[in-house]
Amino acid sequence: MDYRGFTEEDVRAAVTADGGPDAWRTGPAFLREIDTEEMSDTAVVYARAGAESVNSYQLAGRSEELSEKSGAADGVPFTDAEQRLAETARGLQGEGAAGMYEVVGTLRLAMADAMDTRTAVAELLDGPDGLHAVVRRHIAAAWQDWEFALCQVDIPDDAADTIRERHLGAAVRDASAGAGDLTDAVDGYRTRMTGRAAELAAQGYDVTDGALDLWLTPGNAAFLAEGVRLELAKSADRPGDIDWDFALHNLEPFLAVIARGKDADLTPGEYRYLDAFYEHAGGGDAFVDLGRLLLRRDDLRLPPADDDRLSGIAGAFADGMLTAYGHDSVRMPDSMARLFQVYRYKGTGGWWGDFQKFGEVMGYATVTPTRRMTEDLVSTAIVSHRKGWELDERSGSDGVMHAALLNLPVAAEEIRGYNSANNQWALRVLDEAS
């Protein structure tokens, strides 16, 4: 009779099997996200930027300049950096610098919160009573029970399985509780950061700009995207329950990145943010859910404010896709890329309906796509229009072509060079746009 035991990976699999929190992934990811040395350096940079800026609108830009020029305060521990921020905030009080005292204070609290949460997550993961230690104790206790059982005269045939199942069950229960605590700590932090972002925006400070990138991490993108995904998922059977204000509020940092991309190339970190947002918002499924709402717009009878929010959300998703993808360095998720692959599908099946909805969303685009993206949009629009004409059905080709024509020179070149006898529709649309 052999005892095969169990591993921490067995415990993890059991905890996450039905959608339980995967703290083994999210915990280490959060520890990497909050870099203590970088945070200390950035705190000092913001203290200096606060002292040198006239108002909160200048703070992000000045912090970026100082960060690029001097990098950091070498060797300054976080506690000293936090003290410098506090001193800067006190110095600004009563100086008449509009909003600066509140902005610097909020930034200091955000950085301190990030560090405190990091400490808590590290303890919940690797501390004496953290996730790893708890599971190891259950594994050791199971082996001790087995060794004790071997000393008995009569060992039941199912002793090994009984011992394993008893201790594995206990390990899963304790690990589930620990994983839940860790998830709550991280989600609580991200919720507080969302609230602070709104405060800072009201004070004239753009949290997606400057040297402090706490709001632009893939983890924060995933957190906000999950909220949007859950709202859009109601489109099929509970559209009346959608919280439009919440969904659009979650898109604010996303929209700020897109706005910056209109004027300059985004950083690799900003592209990662957009990509992470789409991944966790549902990718192609999010476009389908959103398009379903747009097609049912008249039936929804939304109040004017919510109707405007629906348009804003559609514009964000369309512009974000055109901003994030079409570059050699960023690969579009498969669930979104498949929506372009008109030539693969025939008939009126589920994909055709998905493409119709995708086209509805793309009709709200406003940013200029790259050359490669424009070429893909043009070919997709032309092929889909031809298929829709053959099937005597509405397709998403109008919205897709609208997005392509935002880069008019490239779209014109592509349309005129398209080798198709059925290209009259695209030429007509181009003529109207020109």
At 358-378, the pLDDT tens digits run 999 999 999 999 999 999 999
**HSE-up of 272 (CA within 13 Å, CB side)?**
10
pLDDT number for residue 8:
97
Q: Tokens 């001790």 appear where?
A: 144
Q: Please report, as a single letter, which amino acid is at residue 410.
A: V
Asked whether the CA dihedral 400, 405, 406, 410 is positive or negative, the reply is positive
pLDDT number for residue 356:
87
- The rounded distance, in Å, linking the Cα atoms of 138 and 146 is 12
Q: What is each CA distance from 169 to 3, 161, 176, 253, in whole angstroms?
A: 16, 12, 10, 42
Tokens standing for residue 249: 């509020």
* pLDDT under 50: residue ranges of the chain: 72, 93-96, 348
pLDDT number for residue 325:
94
pLDDT number for residue 96:
42
- The rounded distance, in Å, linking the Cα atoms of 127 and 133 is 7
pLDDT number for residue 142:
96
Q: Tokens 């609208």 appear where?
A: 402
**HSE-up of 239 (CA within 13 Å, CB side)?**
19
Residue ranges of alpha helices (H) inside 97-243 are 100-126, 131-150, 159-202, 218-232
- The rounded distance, in Å, linking the Cα atoms of 190 and 351 is 36
- The rounded distance, in Å, linking the Cα atoms of 116 and 192 is 13
pLDDT number for residue 77:
61
Main-chain phi, psi angles of 139, to 5 degrees? -65, -45
Contact present, 414 and 374 (Cβ < 8 Å) = yes
Instruction: Please enumerate in sequence order all residues whose Cβ is within 8 A of that of 124, keeping only pairs 6 or more positions apart, or say none.
Output: 23, 27, 130, 131, 178, 181, 182, 185
pLDDT number for residue 17:
95
Contact present, 334 and 344 (Cβ < 8 Å) = no
Instruction: Please enumerate in sequence order all residues whose Cβ is within 8 A of that of 53, keeping only pairs 6 or more positions apart, or say none.
Output: 59, 62, 97, 100
